[in-house]
């Protein structure tokens, strides 16, 4: 659909730069697509509400470390230790 718009040139130039667009049309389409996606995400967040059960960054990192240790135990790739119990190799 053809439409005539009066868009400030500085705003359009910035949109083209940020979108990596080579044409004005591509910049406008990218902006509209981004706007629509953000609106859908906002609507979904409002429908789903809040939760106290989401993991914090610390919880996620702890889980990742636990999974790494578990996989190292299963594969037998844990670093060996010296007689004094000190780690050798990558984990000194």
CB-based burial of residue 21 (10 Å sphere; 0-12 exposed, 13-18 middle, 19+ buried)? Answer: middle
Q: Domain residue spans in the chain?
A: 9-48, 57-91
Instruction: Read off the pLDDT of residues 4-58 as tens digits, 9 standing for 90 and up.
Output: 999 999 999 999 999 999 999 999 999 999 999 999 999 998 988 877 778 889 9
pTM, two decimals, is 0.53
Residues 79/91, Cβ–Cβ less than 8 Å:
yes
pLDDT of residue 86: 56
Spell out the alpha helix ranges (H) of 6-56: 9-19, 24-48
For position 92, what pLDDT does the model report?
46
Nearest in space to 78 (alpha carbons), one of 69, 63, 86: 69
Residue 85 scores a pLDDT above 60: no
Residue 37, pLDDT score: 97
């Amino acid at each position: 659909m053809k439409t005539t718009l009066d868009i400030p040139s500085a705003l359009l130039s910035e949109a083209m730069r940020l979108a990596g667009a080579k044409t004005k049309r591509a910049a406008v389409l990218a902006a509209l697509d981004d706007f629509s996606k953000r609106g859908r995400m906002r609507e979904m967040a409002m429908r789903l509400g809040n939760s106290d059960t989401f993991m914090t960054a610390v919880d996620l990192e702890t889980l990742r470390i636990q999974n790494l240790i578990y996989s190292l135990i299963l594969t037998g790739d844990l670093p060996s230790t010296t007689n004094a119990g000190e780690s050798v190799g990558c984990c000194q």
